[in-house]
Amino acid sequence: MRKNIKLLGNATEKAMPVRVIGMIGVTPPGGEATVHVIKGGISAPYLKAFAQAHDAAGFDLALVGYTASSAEGFLVAQYAAHHTERLGFLIAHRPGFVAPTLAARKIATFDHLTEGRIALHVISGASDAEQNGDGDFALKEERYRRATEYLEVMKLAWSSERRFDFAGEFYRVRGARSDVQPFQKPHPPLFFGGSSEGALAMGARHCDVFAMFGEPLAATAQRVAEFRARASLHGRTPGFNMSFRPILGATEDKAWERARRILASISKPGDPTGFGNKKAPLDHSARRLLDFAAAGETHDERLWMPIAEATGASGNTSCLVGTPEQVARALLEYYKLGVRSFLIRGFDPFEDTIDFGRELIPRLRSGAEALDRAQAA
């Protein structure tokens, strides 16, 4: 039977030096440099091959994204799980479209059928306009309050041995119960992202991992300390994930040349993000990245922000540029700050996944292990 140790949250964080997350797309990219991979139809052969590439490359999880027009994430993950051996799936999930009791059973069922190969990334929506496409007209702060209740009801469904009642602002259930409890205990890891007060309040109370976009080291240290303090008020010790777009080269010069080619491709006229935001920031996290981009192109030697600026910081657009050794060392500086999980994906999604598995992930893992040994000594 497959063991699920690598997928657990806080319970096994100490035993797992570093978690590496990728992101699977559902259709071949159509441009020279791909910002997002979850729009544009679906190709089952491509999805299968892309998931298997992540499996072979040594990723622990693969993010399955969500937009108001993209392929449904749970079914994408189910298909990918069927065609992989050990890869887990971090499924982006927007509370509010199904009842939390039903979602709890759905997630617990997936958890059992894959023997623990699921984690959940709780998101409130890229924008009010995008949510409208799925019929949700609640404003963002209201969506975070709704998500807080949603997670509370889901956790009750996962943990209650008897039927339970719940009455809140958004949800009311009477005599609810679930016949299936999660395979992972107490439940699959719950990730969240966001920089608004509503996001941070929800995450501190209910989530296991705070997922952040790549920011300079000093700002990251401050965010980690502040969120740890916030979560401690609820008796929680959170984990941290940081997302980057590594741009690798055989030499440092070649890496920077590649980075400039990618920027030139993304900067062509059109809609580089696919969200129609015309480079305007969609949320608080994007505004933070644009502020760092305005402060300078490069931070801490390797963190390169022009692509974030060129796309309105839509999604994961913070880049680390250099040779595999240099980028691994840069990631390890964040590891020293308490970031134990990294989401890495490239602008050539399929080939970069293979390259990361060959050149970057082994260096990151061995470096994290060395840091842990030194600290233990």
Alpha-carbon distance 144 to 126, whole Å? Answer: 12
Contact indicator for 83, 114 with CB cutoff of 8 Å: no
Identify the pLDDT of residue 277: 45
Helices then strands, counting H and E runs in the chain, come out as 13, 13
Q: What is the mean pLDDT of each run of 10 residues along the chain (377 residues)?
A: 42 65 92 72 96 98 92 97 98 95 98 98 83 82 94 98 97 97 98 94 97 98 98 98 98 98 85 51 84 96 96 91 98 98 96 98 98 93
Helix (H, G, I), strand (E, B) or coil at 81: helix
- b/e code 8-23 from CB counts within 10 Å (16+ = b): bbeeebeeebbbbbbb
Whether the CA torsion 94, 98, 104, 107 is positive or negative: it is: negative
- Alpha-carbon 113 to chain mean position: 22
pTM of this structure: 0.93
Q: Token match 């007209």: residue? A: 137
Residue closest to 266 by CA, chosen among 311, 296, 302: 311
Whole-number Å distance between alpha carbons of 37 and 125: 17
d(CA 226, CA 28) in angstroms, rounded, equals: 40
Give all domains of the chain, ordered by start, each with its CATH number: 5-245+333-346+357-376 (3.20.20.30)
Look at residue 282 in the predicted model and tell me its pLDDT: 65
Task: Provide CB contacts within 8 A for 169, sequence distance 6+.
Answer: 145, 146, 149
